[in-house]
Chain A
Amino acid sequence: MVTETARIDEILDRFPQIKRNALIPLLQAVQDEFGYISEEAIVRIGAHLSLPTSKVYGLATFYNQFSFSPRGVYHIALCNGSSCHLGGSGELFGELIKLLEIGDGETTRDGLFSLEVQSCIGACGQSPVMAVNGTYFSGITVKELREIIKQYREDASG
C-alpha cells in the first residue's frame, strides 16, 4: 500500500519547475488523484513551491473545482444551469438536502454520498440533469430522484 505522502511526492516530482504558474496544475493533479485536497497536500505543495501554506489554501478555496473533504462512494453532481433551473433543479436540490442531510460540497457521515452543485453540465436540452459518478440522469422529477437515491442505497448495502 502506497502511503498518501508517497503519492503526493510522486505528483510533486512531475512538476520539477518551481514556478508560481505550476500551482494550479499541481492542485488539479492532487484533486484528480485523491478526489479532494488534504491538509497534508496543501502543506507539501507550499513547501515545494516555496509559497506560504496560507497562499496555497487561499488560492484553492477561490476556485470551484477544489474540494477539501473526501468524496462519497457516490458523487452526485446536480446541474443548476439556467435551463435546469427552469426545469426544476431547485426542487431537486431541496429534496437531496432532505434525503441526504448534506449541503453543497459536503459528504454524508457514512461516506456514501457527496453532493456538488455545478453551474452547467452542458446538456441544456435535457433539463434537469444530474450525474452520479458519471452516470447521467436527465429530465428527472422529485419522485424519480427518490427512487434513484433509494436504489443506490440498496446497491451499497446489498
Chain B
Amino acid sequence: MLPDKSFLLKLAQSDPSELSALEREKVAFLNRERLTRPLVMVNSSTSGTVAGAKETWEAIEQYVADRSIEIDLRESGSIGLSSEEPVISVQLPERTRVFFSRVTADKVSSVLDDLFHQVIPDQMLIGQLRREGQVPWNDVSYLDEIPFFALQQRIVMEECGIIDPFSFGEYVARSGYEAFLKIIRSYTFSEVCDLVTRSGLRGRSGGGFPAGKKWKVAFDTPSDQKYLICNAEESDPGAFMDRTLMEGNPFQLLEGISIAAYAIGSNRAYIYIRSEYKDAIRRIDNAIWQLREMGLLGDNILDSGYNLQISLRKGPGAFVCGEETALIASLEGRRGMPCSKPPYPSTAGYLGRPTVVNNVETLSNLPGIIRNGPEWFRGIGLEDCTGTKIFSISGRVRISGLVEVPMGTTFDTIVNDIIGGVNKGRELKALHVGGPLGCMVPVEMMNIPVSFENMKSRDLVLGSGGILVMDDRTCVVNTVRYFMDYVDKQSCGKCIPCREGTRRMAEILGSITRKPADEEQYSTLERFKGVMQLENMAEVMKDTSLCGLGQNAPNPVLSTLKYFRQEYEEHIFDRKCPSNTCTELRSWFIDVDMCTGCSICAKRCPVEAIIGTARHPYFIVQEKCTGCGICYDVCKFTAVYYK
C-alpha cells in the first residue's frame, strides 16, 4: 500500500519546521520514531538468507501467530555484519531499537520471550540504535559506541539495515528525495555538474576519475539523446558493497541516478545489474514501480518539464563487463568486449550517443552531497580524495562485513580496530586489496592512509575496495594463482597480451604450486626462470593490453613478487608451501602408532607409493608420492597426516 502521495511530496520539499504538528506526527510514524505495535525487522538480504534468515522469518511468524501477538514484521537490508547473520532488530513502542546477531530459527522464541517481557537477552545482543525521543534500554550499549560502528563514518550506508527498503515513505521521512526535488526546481544541468565537481567526488569503482568532470564532457557533447548507466555488475569475488547498498537502500541509489541523469541532461538511464543479484533486483524493481506511481519517474516530473525513465537490465555475467565499454557492448546485445578509448563513452557510448557510466557507490553518494552541500563533502576525507569509501572485508577475520570510513583512514584501523583483526591465535600476514585485479599489501604497509593517490604512488591499487584478509595459514602464491585462474577464465580474448598473458601466468603459477612431474636436474632452474618471465610478461601486459582488465591483471603477481618473494622461493626450491595450503606440495606420512595395517591406502594409491605388509604399519615412499591425498581420504584410523 502506498502512503499519501501529495503528503510525501510535500514532505520531500519542505523544511521540517514548516510542517504542522499533525504532519510531524505523521512523519514520526513514517520513520518509525513512533510505533503503534512492536516492530521486528529481519535482514533478508543475501548474506542473511544464506545464514538462514528465511527460516528465522518463518519462526517469527509462527511465534506471533501462536501467541496472537500483533507485530509489524518487515524485511531490512544488512547493517554490514555479514558474518553475524541472521541479524534481526526489534523495536517496542516508545523504546529504542535493539539489534541481535546470529538469531537462527531455534533462537527466535528465547529472544522474543525476553523482549516482550521488557528484558534484554544478554546473548546475541549487538546494541541499540540511538534515536531521540525514545526510551533507551539500560545497560545496553549504543551501536555507535561499539568499536565496529564507532570508528566508521557512515554516510552512504547510514540507513542500510535500518530502514525498510520497500518503503518509499520511510525513505522520504529520512530526508530522501529532498536533493532531487531541490535540483529539478532550482538548478540548471551544468550547475549540478559544477556542484559535484566542487565536492571532489571521484568514481568509486577503481579508476578514481572525478565524477563531475566526466558528466561535464557528456553534457557539453551535443546529441539528440544521452544515456546514464549505473554499473551494478559487481563481479569481483569478495566485493559486496554495491549489492548491500542496493538491497539496503534502493531509493538512495535511484535518487542518485536521477540526479546524475539530470546533470548530463539525459532522459534515459539504465541499471546494468548482475543477474545473480535476485534480492537486489526485486528491491530495485519495486522501488522503480513506487517512484513511477509517485510521479518521480516518467514524463514531466512534477511539472518541471524534465522526463526520466530508468530501466533495469540484467547482465548475463561476465567479469569484463565491469569495464565501461564492454558493459555498453553488452547492453547493445553484443559480446561484452571492450573497445579502445578514445572515443570515451562520455562522447560516444551507448548506441553512439554520449553516455556516462557510474557505479552504485558513486551514485549513492549524490543525494547526500546535494542535500548537505559540496563543502560538507569536502570536509570528509582527504584534500585530494574526498568523502568516504566502503570496504568489504572477508577472509580469515573475526568479523567480515562492510566498513565505511573516510578516505585517509589506514588499513591498520580498518582491519585491527574495526574488524578486530584475525582469529585468535593467528597472525596477520597480508591484505589482498581490490579483488582479482588488486594487489597484496604486506603488514608493514598497513599504516598508509587509504586514497587513490597514496596507493598509486606505492604501485598498489585500491580497486573497488574488497579486502581479503590473510593469516599465517594462507598461502600467498596459492591466492595469487587463484586470482590469475579467475582472470584467465574471464579474459574476453580480444587482445593478445591479456588473452595469452593471463593464460601463461596461470600456467607458471600452477607449476610453482605443484610438485614437478620429474626431477630432471634443471627443473628447479626452469621453475625459477618462470618467476623471471612473470615479471617480463607483466610489463608487456601492463603496457599493451586494451582495457583495465589486462592492464591490471599482473598486479597481484607483481605486488607479491615484490613483498613476498621469499614465499615464491620456498615453493620453488624447497618444494614446500609454508602454510600447507598447496595440497600438491604437502608431504604425507603414516603415523606408526595409529596405523593398523589394513592396507586400504596401499591398494588405493594410484602411484604405488605406499608399501608394507598387512597388519603392520605402512610407509609412504616420498620420492614416489604425488601428494594427491587419497590415502588421507580413505584411512579410517586417521593415521595419515601431512606436514
Contact = CB atoms under 8 A, between A and B. Distances in A.
Interface in B285-320: 313-314, 316-319
Contacts of B396: 86
B323 to A, nearest CB: 14
Task: Bin the interface of chain B by size.
Answer: 35 or more
Interface stretch (A1-9, A58-66, A68-76, A150-158): A58-66
Contact of A83 (B238, B276, B335, B492): B238
Given A125-B82, A125-B83, A82 B333 contact: no
B236 A120 contact: yes
A142 B396 CA distance: 19
A53 interface: no
Contacts of A80: 237
A64 B316 contact: yes
Contact of B235 (A20, A66, A120, A125): A120
A103 B82 CA distance: 30
B484 to A, nearest CB: 12
A23 to B, nearest CB: 4
A91 B628 CA distance: 11
B581 to A, nearest CB: 9
A25 B313 CA distance: 8
B238 A62 contact: no
A63 B335 CA distance: 8
Interface string A21-57: 1111101100000000000000000000000000000
Contacts, number: 135
A7 B583 CA distance: 48
B47 A63 contact: no
Contacts of A25: 313-314
B339 to A, nearest CB: 15
B56 interface: no
Interface string B306-350: 000000011011110000000000111111100000000000000
Contacts of B435: 82
Contacts of B316: 24, 27-28, 63-66
A130 B314 CA distance: 23
A58 B336 CA distance: 11
A25 B270 CA distance: 14
Nearest to B244: A122
Contacts of B52: 136
B275 A65 contact: yes
Interface of A: 19-25, 27-28, 58-59, 62-66, 80-86, 90-91, 118-127, 129, 131, 136, 138
30 contacts: A19-B333, A20-B333, A22-B333, A24-B330, A25-B313, A25-B314, A58-B335, A59-B333, A62-B492, A81-B237, A81-B394, A82-B466, A82-B468, A90-B482, A91-B583, A119-B319, A119-B486, A120-B236, A123-B82, A124-B82, A124-B240, A124-B395, A125-B51, A125-B81, A125-B83, A136-B49, A136-B50, A136-B52, A138-B50, A138-B51
Given A22-B333, A126-B47, 14 more contacts: A20-B333, A24-B313, A62-B335, A80-B237, A81-B394, A86-B474, A122-B46, A122-B47, A123-B46, A123-B85, A124-B82, A124-B392, A124-B395, A126-B82
